[in-house]
């Protein structure tokens, strides 16, 4: 990711921060952040809609303001482009005015001088690529954003944007897991690899559904053999892919974070990888 910083093996998702009462007080959240940083986990994934109207970004920023030394240690990702105000039609907005404002608002809420990675959250059919690219390029030139990426885009959607940008798109955040493996077979994963985008995998445990049925049984057998948890095996399966996709995990529980960080380093054999794939898909490869 960024030269001079720790290798990225897990990203900590902040989507559910507002659901954890014990982390609402700035000092308590600062303690939690410092403990994660001391573990070598310094990447935190945000979006302006998490918690509603930037609430979770604001909680994060209040913790950093309470303990200013942490701001230089955290690496912040945030996303914008989804609008879902109560009583309004949910829609996407990749217009220059909205994205420029979203970047500035995120910087203020998060209490950082620069976003390490800014992603457009969803592809917008109304996006004018040249106009959107200008505002993103301007944000990089101004030092507000270090790197640019997209989330949930299809190849021709990110390529249209990239063609208009002066700076490269460096990351793509997509839904990818053992039980959500379609991008590996429909060309999307190959396309992002070809185009030099580093994959970030959201919902890498598929909301827990991959622990059910045949996939869950196969995960359990391998977990028992290796002395790890089924979740650790599922993350190791994901990390076995070319480019080592970075799982964006949603848990905020310190013990579980530690377990997943360690177990994601498990090295799966090619045979075990395909055994899990077969179980999840319900059929052997052709």
Answer yes or no: 50 catalytic.
Answer: yes
Ramachandran class of 91: left when φ > 0, alpha when ψ lies in -120 to 50, beta otherwise: beta
d(C-alpha 140, C-alpha 265), whole Å: 33
Identify the H or E element spanning 57. helix 55-66
Token readout for 266 is 């498990």
d(C-alpha 89, C-alpha 27), whole Å: 37
Token readout for 250 is 């949603």
Of 32, 50, 60, 211, which is the active-site residue?
Answer: 50
Token readout for 269 is 């054999």
Are the C-beta atoms of residues 48 and 54 closer than 8 Å to each other?
yes
Q: At what angle do helices 129-141 and 96-110 cross, to 10 degrees?
A: 30
Instruction: With CA atoms as reference, report the closest residue to 39 among 66, 15, 16, 73.
Output: 73
Q: How far is CA 3 from CA 8, 64, 180, in A?
A: 11, 23, 31
DSSP 8-state secondary structure symbol assigned to residue 167 = S
Q: How far is CA 67 from CA 32, 43, 75, 218, in A?
A: 12, 17, 15, 44
Catalytic residues: 50
């Amino acid at each position: 990711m960024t030269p001079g910083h720790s290798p990225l093996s897990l990203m900590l998702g902040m989507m559910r921060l507002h659901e954890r009462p014990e982390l609402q007080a700035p000092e308590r959240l600062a303690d939690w952040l410092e403990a994660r940083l001391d573990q070598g986990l310094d990447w935190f994934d945000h979006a302006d809609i998490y918690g509603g109207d930037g609430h979770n970004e604001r909680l994060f920023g209040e913790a950093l303001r309470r303990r200013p030394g942490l701001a230089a240690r955290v690496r912040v990702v945030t996303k914008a482009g989804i609008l879902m105000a109560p009583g309004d039609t949910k829609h996407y907005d990749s217009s220059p005015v909205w994205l420029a404002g979203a970047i500035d608002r995120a910087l203020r809420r998060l209490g950082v001088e620069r976003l390490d990675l800014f992603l457009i959250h969803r592809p917008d059919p109304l996006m004018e690529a040249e106009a959107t690219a200008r505002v993103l390029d301007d944000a990089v030139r101004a030092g507000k954003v270090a790197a640019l990426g997209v989330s949930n885009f299809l190849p021709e959607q990110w390529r249209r944007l990239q063609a208009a940008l002066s700076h490269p798109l460096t990351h793509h955040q997509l839904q990818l897991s053992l039980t959500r493996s379609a991008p590996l077979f429909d060309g999307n994963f190959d396309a992002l690899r070809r185009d030099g985008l580093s994959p970030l995998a959201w919902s890498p445990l598929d909301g827990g559904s991959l622990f059910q049925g045949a996939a869950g049984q196969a995960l359990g057998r391998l977990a028992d053999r290796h002395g790890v948890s089924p979740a650790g095996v599922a993350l190791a399966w994901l990390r076995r892919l070319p480019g080592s996709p970075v799982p964006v995990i949603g848990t905020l529980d310190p013990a579980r974070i530690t377990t997943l960080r360690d177990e994601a380093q498990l090295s799966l054999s090619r045979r075990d990888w395909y055994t899990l794939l077969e179980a999840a898909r319900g059929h052997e490869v052709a």
